Amino acid sequence: MLPVVVVHGGAGSVPKERSAGARQGVCAAARAGYVVLQGGGSSMDAVVEAVTQLENNSMFNAGCGSVLNIKGEVEMDALVMDGQTLASGAVVAVRNIANPIQLSRLVMEKTSHVCLATQGANQFAESMCVPQVQPESLITDYARMRWRQNLVPDTTPVEQQVGKMGTVGAVAVDVHGNVACATSTGGIPNKMEGRVGDTPCIGCGGYADNSVGAVSTTGEGEAIMKVTLARLVLFYMERGQSAEAGSDAALAYMKSRVEGLGGVVTVDPRGHWAARFSTAQMSWAAVQEDTLHCGVEVGEHLTQNIN
């Protein structure tokens, strides 16, 4: 059954005209992650590769293509976690880093800390020779158009915009049964400057523990934080539920307890996996045993041999 990689391109409502691009993007990222696993790479290598591809794809709300804060600026959050050691790394509100997920991994591997924010994260990036880009280079016309629309009072409430451009994430199990997760986002549209969502917080935007599995989340960040969604999925799995049932139970709890909507991708250490959501749509893809799985709509599950 091993190995497997599962990715998401954000839960919410995927506008019709962006659905094909989102599907293509998640499929390409899942395949890229799987190539890493097939080459003997670790689950951490695979999730970072998959999320890097999604950050570089301007279809998604991460890296280039991130949504903008109220001032029209990019502020991105990202998280990685390694299920073997429980090591994790995160960056918060970074502005001029093309791939925040890679910087998160460096925080995990090269510092004694778990999370670095704003200028501190930038100074660290510099010390690691991570190139800094012009913040404007991460802003797409689409993101700027949405930002402008959202400035008009009452026309497009921010809640309705959540997920229209999706956060990205991945989970994987490698040939040794090690699990990992990675999640990266520009946050929610027109957020206050300095707003930190669920994504960089362990247990919320993601969690990975070899003893139970790994999860990457997406959706309404404030709701996700209230129920620590990623850890909640694993809690249900610890109590005997499958990856799929645990994901559904946690999403149902978030909906009933705090009226929050979202989505998750989940694996257990044996390679069972799930991509589940309570929103209208979520683009997702998985590769296992040379089969590519993907979907966007509720109940949609397409498969294709990748050879």
Would you say 3 or 163 has its CB closer to ligand ASN?
163
Quick one: which of 52, 53, 99, 185 contacts ligand ASN (CB under 6 A)?
A: 185
Minimum distance of ligand ASN from residue 215's CB (angstroms): 13
Dig out the tokens for 202 from the structure.
Answer: 């362990």
114 exposure class (CB count in 10 Å sphere: 0-12, 13-18, 19+) = middle
Piece in contact with ligand ASN (CB under 6 A), picked from 194-202, 233-241, 265-273, 281-289? 194-202
In degrees, rounded to 5, the angle at the alpha carbon of residue 46 between the alpha carbons of residues 43 and 47 is: 90
Quick one: which of 88, 104, 178, 199 contacts ligand ASN (CB under 6 A)?
A: 199
- Say whether residue 10 binds ligand ASN (CB under 6 A): yes
52, 156, 167, 228: which is the annotated catalytic residue? Answer: 167
| Beta strands 88-94; 115-117: pairing state | parallel
Would you say 199 or 288 has its CB closer to ligand ASN?
199
Q: How far apart are CA 77 and CA 207, in angstroms?
A: 15
Piece in contact with ligand ASN (CB under 6 A), picked from 36-44, 124-132, 138-146, 213-221? 213-221
Dig out the tokens for 129 from the structure.
Answer: 């020779």
Dig out the tokens for 271 from the structure.
Answer: 């390679």
- Which DSSP letter does residue 123 get? H
Residue whose C-alpha is closest to residue 75's, from 119, 131, 15, 113: 119
77 is in an annotated binding site: no
Quick one: which of 163, 189, 203, 213 contacts ligand ASN (CB under 6 A)?
A: 163
> Which residues inside 44-73 make contact with ligand ASN, applying CB under 6 A?
61
Q: How far apart are CA 283 and CA 292, in angstroms?
A: 14
Q: How far apart are CA 182 and CA 273, in angstroms?
A: 15
221 is in an annotated binding site: yes
- Say whether residue 167 binds ligand ASN (CB under 6 A): yes
Minimum distance of ligand ASN from residue 248's CB (angstroms): 18
289 is in an annotated binding site: no
| Catalytic residue flag (residue 279) | no
Identify any residues that bridge with 262 across adjacent strands, giving them in sequence order: 219
- Say whether residue 247 binds ligand ASN (CB under 6 A): no
Quick one: which of 218, 228, 247, 278 contacts ligand ASN (CB under 6 A)?
A: 218
φ/ψ (deg, to 5) at 74: -85, 135
Identify any residues that bridge with 222 across adjacent strands, giving them in sequence order: none
Q: How far apart are CA 134 and CA 248, in angstroms?
A: 40
Would you say 75 or 248 has its CB closer to ligand ASN?
75
**Chain position whose Cβ is nearest to ligand ASN:** 221
List residues with catalytic annotation. Answer: 167
Contact positions vs ligand ASN (CB under 6 A): 10, 61, 162-163, 166-167, 185, 187-188, 197-199, 218-219, 221, 224
